[in-house]
Structure 1
Amino acid sequence: MKTKNIKTYFLGKITYEKKPYFQRKNYVCITDTAKDIRGYAGVILKQNNYIPKLLNKTPVLFDIMENDIEEFQEDDIIFVDVNGKYRIVWDIDSEQNSLLFTEACNCCCQMCPQPLQKHNKSYLVIAKKTLSLLDPNKTKTICLTGGEPTLFENDFLEILQICKKKFSQANIILLTNGKKFSSFDFTKKMTQIGLEKLLICISLHADTDNLHDNIVGVKGSFAQTIKGLYNLAKFQHQIEIRFVISNLNYKRMESFSYFLFRNFPFLSHIAFMGMEVTGYALNNYEKLWIDPFLYRTELKKAVHDLNRKAMNVSIYNIPHCLLERDSWEFSRQSISSWKNAFLVNCSNCSYKNDCCGIFTTSNTYQSSYISPISSPLN
């Protein structure tokens, strides 16, 4: 792949159709020829075509193979950098698109799949531009993520205001460690924006400060997150707790469930999640990994305890064959395709269509107990 006239990057909605000139500025045209390509945010040529000097202001990615762009669809939003690297930042057919605000974070979780990076301001620019390109009538869900998306307060609140103004009917999902909400004033500012369909998903990995702070790598995090939960509750926000299961905390799942019930009865949802073995989790594999099959009993007790107390609880990213049979009712399939993959030996499983599958990003780091369930169970 080669590039021409890309100073930093280009971003736009994919189109395979030639648009009228004055409608082109927000589109990235995919074409076989370099003729009539002025005015687009960018152009992707399927092969190494001659690019007239007259068009030297049009950003172009060229000499790209047909099979490299087979996945691109009309109205997908694509980002292309100065080196020709590209990624789809918004999949028009996906139910779970995410806007990445930053790769910086005020925690350093031992099992984080996305290693920390220095903040790059372009992520926020790209997020805002992406929102400007979306059709509010076709946008059902927007996920806001990082790093820690609340780190840069003004930009965070500005994006929420955009969501309120343009996407008032969309479900907004915020993935956060919750520490920023320990500030009552910040929580109040966010609440005053008035997002009615905001779900705040907060990571909490233990019922004790020492263990949680050890897992997230920053002392004092537990206290801040707990304070944040109560501040959010004062404004009646919908809150989900996410507990990533590892060798460090699996023994406390039952006490964790009791802790949530006693202290946070206002929670909208509680999610127990299998660990994705990539990023820091892969670096800390020997310390963190425990086969999900080996903690199935502890998990069963935790979810059943919460369910008996009428709290909404689910299990994610753990295949059926690794769970107790009476935990299956709490198992949920992810709406992210890369979390719903299967091993070869799963092909003959009678429950494959109901199973959540595995992380593709975990590669070969999978449970040794994964096996097909060949016939219905009574």
Structure 2
Amino acid sequence: MRRMSASFGSRVQNEDIWRVVSIETLAAQWQSDLQFLVKVTRDSDRKHVHQLQAAGLGNVEWMDACDTEIGDVVVTTPHRSQAAVLYRPSDLHHGLQLTNRCNSNCLMCSQPPTPQADDWMVREAVEVIRHMGSSPPVLGLTGGEPLLLGEGLREVLDHVHECHPSTRVEILSNGRLLANAPLCKAVVDGLQTPTTWLVPLYGHVDFLHDFVVQAHGAFEQTLAGLLNLQQHRQPIQLRIVLIKPVLDVLPELCTFIGRNLPFVKEVALMACEPIGFALANRELCEVDLADWQGTLEQAARQLKRHSVPFLFMNTPLCALPTDLHGHAHRSISDWKNVYTPVCEPCQLKPDCAGFFAWHERGWKPAKTIPITREEYTA
């Protein structure tokens, strides 16, 4: 989330959701049931806003924040003179967080859960969806664990379809609560929003997966949830975060997936994000993927053997064997994606995922090695 200094007109009194517009585009976008912040660059813009207010427009106010972009959806914090961008049309990746609560405690969780009730986050997400002036191709919904919302998750999905029918949703969920067949049906039965479920699996036997997610019985619940999703013909991407306990069994896990879960749409192999619980469990989470290239190649062979598509996420190209570069995606969210000075001469930088912005406080997934096109094609 991008936070920035901002000043507002007097009608911005609370933490609330607004769409950022220019004075020139306000008339074309105005709706009575939305709120609009006019990004002002000169005194005449403020004067124009005051004239509109005097004419009876109660849902328009001015904002001075140079780092915002037209089309942003922001939440205002006037007592701190701040605005936070919750949606930016120009970003490559778009996502909304629905809850901080979770029923797992994964060793490498980048967003450690909190137990407090946070129903306000769902209301905020719905308001963001309503205020989005453009429809992104894909919108991610994350937590915490979104399924803890129960049928509230379906409410969010239905709002996406109502406001943005062309948008496909990706839900990041541990899948455990989908073992409850009635809940699974309530969430997905008759669902019109195109939806893909992103579900982690960290071992091919129960004690391995349960250890990584720190929840007894999670393996069996997740598998039951996956089978219920398949029964409802829901697309599934399995996610595997590459920490040491998982890398130790990665080829066996990929074999298990190919033999027992051949219906999954794809498998995402992901470098660990160096933040949150990963910092507290550094001895298990900090790995140099360059040291595991043989393991990654074995895992890839097993997935290919069983015709299961796969991709690498959050993984710089210099961490991967050359023959796996074609499976690497630029997947780190725009606002937390950076490159190191060593990356500058690398000729593959435009195609590379780079690093998380906080890698200097944590670690890089591999030593940074610039690559030339000559090396790449040799």
TM-score with structure 2 length normalisation? 0.86
8 A contact 1:257–1:305 mirrored in 2:
yes
Q: Quote the residue 2:301 is aligned against.
A: 304
Q: Quote the residue 2:68 is aligned against.
A: 72
Pairing 1:125–2:123 present: yes
Pairing 1:199–2:196 present: yes
Paired positions, count: 355
Give, in angstroms, the shift of residue 145 of structure 1.
0.9
8 A contact 1:161–1:193 mirrored in 2:
no
Change (3 A) 1:41 1:78: farther
Match of 2:215 among 215, 218, 236: 218
AA paired with 1:28? L
Q: Quote the residue 1:53 is aligned against.
A: none
Cα distance in structure 1, aligned partners of 2:316 and 2:349: 9
Q: Quote the residue 1:245 is aligned against.
A: 242
Identity of aligned residues (%): 23
* Residues 75-106 of structure 1 deviation map (CA, whole Å, 9 limit, x = unaligned): 21011124333211110112421121111111
Q: Quote the residue 1:274 is aligned against.
A: 271
Q: Quote the residue 2:23 is aligned against.
A: 17
* Residues 7-26 of structure 1 deviation map (CA, whole Å, 9 limit, x = unaligned): 54121100121746974752
Match of 2:105 among 85, 105, 108: 108
Match of 1:96 among 93, 96, 100: 93
Deviates most, 166-175 or 332-341 = 332-341
Alignment of 1:18-97 (within 5 A): 19=26, 23=31, 25-31=34-40, 32-33=42-43, 35=47, 36-37=49-50, 38=53, 39=57, 41=59, 43-46=61-64, 69-81=65-77, 82-97=79-94
Deviates most, 122-131 or 161-170 = 161-170
Unaligned runs of 5+ in 1: 47-68
Question: Once superposed, what is the RMSD of the aligned Cα atoms?
Answer: 2.3
Cα distance in structure 2, aligned partners of 1:339 and 1:311: 30
* Residues 50-91 of structure 1 deviation map (CA, whole Å, 9 limit, x = unaligned): xxxxxxxxxxxxxxxxxxx33312121011124333211110
AA paired with 1:13? R
Q: Quote the residue 2:132 is aligned against.
A: 134
Partner of 1:314: helix, strand, or coil? strand
Unaligned runs of 5+ in 2: none
Cα distance in structure 2, aligned partners of 1:234 and 1:178: 14
8 A contact 2:18–2:131 mirrored in 1:
yes
8 A contact 1:78–1:88 mirrored in 2:
yes
TM-score with structure 1 length normalisation? 0.86
Q: Quote the residue 1:332 is aligned against.
A: 329
Cα distance in structure 1, aligned partners of 2:234 and 2:252: 25
Cα distance in structure 1, aligned partners of 2:247 and 2:30: 58
Q: Quote the residue 1:51 is aligned against.
A: none
Cα distance in structure 1, aligned partners of 2:271 and 2:308: 20
Change (3 A) 1:232 1:96: same
8 A contact 2:271–2:365 mirrored in 1:
no
Change (3 A) 1:248 1:30: same
Cα distance in structure 1, aligned partners of 2:159 and 2:309: 30
Partner of 2:244: helix, strand, or coil? coil
